[in-house]
Structure 1
Amino acid sequence: MTALVPEPGSGARRLAEIVDAVAGRRREIARLQAAEAALLSEAMDVALEQMGPPSRDLDAPYDVPVRSAAAQIAVAVRVSDRTVQAWMDAAHTLCDLFPATHAALGEGRIERSHAQVIAEAGVNILDAAARVEFEGAVLPVAERESANRLRPIARLLAQRIHPVPLADRHRAAAARRGVWLREGVDGMGELGFSGPMVQVTAIKSRLDLLAREVIDARHGRSGGDPGDALEGLNEPCSRDTRSMGEVRFDVAADLLLTGHATPQDSEDSLPRGDAIRARVQITVPVLTLLGTSTEPAELAGHGPIDLDTARDLAGHAPGWDRVLTHPVTGCVLAVDRYRPTAEQRRLLAVRDEHCRFPGCRQPAHRCDIDHTIPAGHDGPTEICNLAHLCRRHHTLKHHSAWKGRQHPTGVLEWTSPSGHTVPDIPARTLVFTAVDPPPF
């Protein structure tokens, strides 16, 4: 019996039109992205031409012109200058080292994600002829496969074509190992690290082993098949109902914060204030601490955190700062504390919260306190002439044409080498509601 195929209706025809239109738009976007890459690469070329011979000033980094160019573009498009410099680096790599890939992107034959995969896989091929061979082999695959499917193929092709032995490349790659932090939502965050695969795999395996031991202890087992522990994850439990992923994270947090893994037998197993010794700045309204308000607390530079965590950390803090702010503008006016300390530093840390260069969020405790008007030019050491700048932007201020002027309210007005001005307004991060009598 032959099945009847229905004639395509208006809905099917319209969907086909949409598919063609989306594909066309994607090709247009790819062409624009290729054009943007060419501009960013040109900006990098212009900056590199301005670098000239090495400076005699040992404090001036060699890439100040590149940083300055990135900062000017960043201010214009309202993103971090570090992000723009990364864009410039990537664009320069694409246009200079992978011209055939850049051309394919400009013709809409591949997406930017394909170009990124190709550049990442082949960037370490330093021999120009080998790089051309790599592009010739990988581009036909990129034109017919998704970026995710392309990635392992591109790595394999680069591995086969690369003239340098893998062992030598691994030693060079291991020197770039590191750790990074990425903000999340709802008070969450991600901590990641990159290193040799053998070590990373061993770390993951140890976390799995410790987490399974916790699961076994929960269900009254000792040893046995690890699969048994996993099978019991969804069983009802009177006390500990954490999933394997939750236990794995809790074990990792214990190891990093306390140096040992504690197989706690409670849902409330996250390391609390007694285990946390990192340097943090928490905004907690005083009425929230007293339990008469639900106004949220805030982790400086990151956003809201739950009130229980804020109260717990406040209870373990060696001291509190009381911050007095202007009732209308919110400008920080003064900071006092029972224990004597460097009041100016505390006030600046509260006022600034992070680096005061536009778009930068480097935490204040990692920054330098800079005189807006240099002390060598009779700049006073007063709050209205001081601001936190990370080392990158502190250096940029003193070794490029970027200029900063601070207003009495703490607003820093930056002027770029091209004459554009942009204000950086200090964040009001700690607000204590006035109460009578004060609770201090």
Structure 2
Amino acid sequence: MVVLVDASDSQMAVLADLVESLSAADATLNAMMAARDGMLALAGRVAVDIARQGAHPDRGDMTIRAVAAEIGQRLRVSDRTIERRIGDASWLVDGFPAVWQAQAAGRISSAHARVIIDAGSHLEDDAVRAAYAAAVLPFAEVESPNRLRPIANRIAERFHPRSIDDRHKAARPKRRVWTADTDDGMADLHVHAPAVLIHAMMDRLSQMAHRLREENQKAKRDATTAGIPFDADDRTVDEIRADLIADLVLTGTPTGHDTTDTLLTEI
């Protein structure tokens, strides 16, 4: 690298050793996390076996919770967290064994494994998942998790038994809006809808926010040049976007979805 031109030979040697050591440490951490997942998956199997012996009607749900509580108490983690980890680990170990083995060998990280699993979660057949994993792992070994995500999604799409159009039609009825309260009197508004509409909404909000911010900055520069007192609007683009969507929702009218008595616009 150009910025290292001034480094001495000894400094470059130290840096090379550090890079190798960090690489080895990272591979060891990934292998240990894979080992932990293997033990968690085994705990899930033990719980199912115990439930099967007792012919439990819940197919092991209560037994898994009891096992999770035992592990959580020792690890000082909630049983719900352990139960979730058991589920995730079982899906990795049993559903994507090649991915788990690659992580255990230190070739990929847990973040890579998560990206691969998320992209291929809809693949139900064992053989199809194995073929998908074989196709995506070479990319996982050379790309970062963020760069891997679109690659994994494209590869997974090739193995999907249903076309994207069919899946989109089936997914559309799941569109919804919900809220989640956060700290300091704030809350989040979530919208799950067709991607083309969500991206179009975000694009419109962004264009409006940037246009307004540019106008605010211009007014500020003009006032400063003229020596006129000016109460500057220094909101960020994110702040303006949030204010715009609140303004549009609360003051706009649902012209495309009014009731027959036209009273919906009165709300």
TM category, shorter: 0.7 to 0.9
Aligned counterparts, 1:251-330, within 5 A: 251-253=244-246, 260-261=250-251
The answer as to whether partners of 2:177 and 2:189 remain within 8 angstroms in 1 is: no
Shift of 1:247: 2.4
Go from structure 1 to structure 2 and tell me whether the alpha carbon gap of 1:232 and 1:176 turns closer, same or farther (over 3 Å shift). Answer: closer
Taking the aligned partners of 2:129 and 2:31, their CA distance within structure 1 comes to 23
**Aligned residue number for residue 229 of structure 1:** 212
Go from structure 1 to structure 2 and tell me whether the alpha carbon gap of 1:176 and 1:246 turns closer, same or farther (over 3 Å shift). Answer: closer
The answer as to whether partners of 2:30 and 2:104 remain within 8 angstroms in 1 is: yes
Taking the aligned partners of 2:9 and 2:181, their CA distance within structure 1 comes to 48
Taking the aligned partners of 1:206 and 1:48, their CA distance within structure 2 comes to 51
Aligned counterparts, 1:56-67, within 5 A: 63-67=61-65
**Aligned residue number for residue 242 of structure 1:** 235
123-132 or 188-197: which moved more?
Answer: 188-197
Shift of 1:61: 9.7
* RMSD after superposition: 3.3
**Aligned residue number for residue 339 of structure 1:** none
Select which of 90, 97, 100 maps to 2:98: 100
Go from structure 1 to structure 2 and tell me whether the alpha carbon gap of 1:63 and 1:101 turns closer, same or farther (over 3 Å shift). Answer: same
Taking the aligned partners of 1:102 and 1:166, their CA distance within structure 2 comes to 28
For 1:45, the aligned partner's letter is R
Q: Deviations over 1:295-336 (max 9, x none)?
A: xxxxxxxxxxxxxxxxxxxxxxxxxxxxxxxxxxxxxxxxxx
Shift of 1:139: 0.6
**Aligned residue number for residue 108 of structure 2:** 110
Alignment partner of 2:77: what SS?
coil
The percent of aligned pairs where both chains have the same amino acid is 36
Matched, 1:142 2:140: yes
The answer as to whether partners of 1:33 and 1:112 remain within 8 angstroms in 2 is: yes
Q: Deviations over 1:148-174 (max 9, x none)?
A: 111100000000122222234335555
**Aligned residue number for residue 78 of structure 1:** 76
Alignment partner of 1:260: what SS?
helix
The answer as to whether partners of 2:48 and 2:60 remain within 8 angstroms in 1 is: no
The answer as to whether partners of 1:35 and 1:106 remain within 8 angstroms in 2 is: yes
- Which protein is richer in helix relative to its size? 2
Question: TM-score normalised to the size of structure 2?
Answer: 0.73
Rg comparison, structure with higher value: 1
**Aligned residue number for residue 270 of structure 1:** none
Q: Deviations over 1:368-401 (max 9, x none)?
A: xxxxxxxxxxxxxxxxxxxxxxxxxxxxxxxxxx
**Aligned residue number for residue 310 of structure 1:** none
Shift of 1:231: 1.8
Question: TM-score normalised to the size of structure 1?
Answer: 0.47
Unaligned runs of 5+ in 1: 216-226, 263-440
Q: Deviations over 1:220-258 (max 9, x none)?
A: xxxxxxx64342243425264423321222344567xxx
Shift of 1:183: 5.2
Taking the aligned partners of 2:51 and 2:179, their CA distance within structure 1 comes to 30
Q: How many residues get paired?
A: 235
Unaligned runs of 5+ in 2: 221-229, 253-267
For 2:240, the aligned partner's letter is V
**Aligned residue number for residue 18 of structure 1:** 18
The answer as to whether partners of 1:252 and 1:261 remain within 8 angstroms in 2 is: no
Aligned counterparts, 1:126-137, within 5 A: 126-137=124-135
Taking the aligned partners of 1:94 and 1:49, their CA distance within structure 2 comes to 19
Shift of 1:74: 2.8
Go from structure 1 to structure 2 and tell me whether the alpha carbon gap of 1:182 and 1:48 turns closer, same or farther (over 3 Å shift). Answer: farther
- Which protein is richer in strand relative to its size? 1
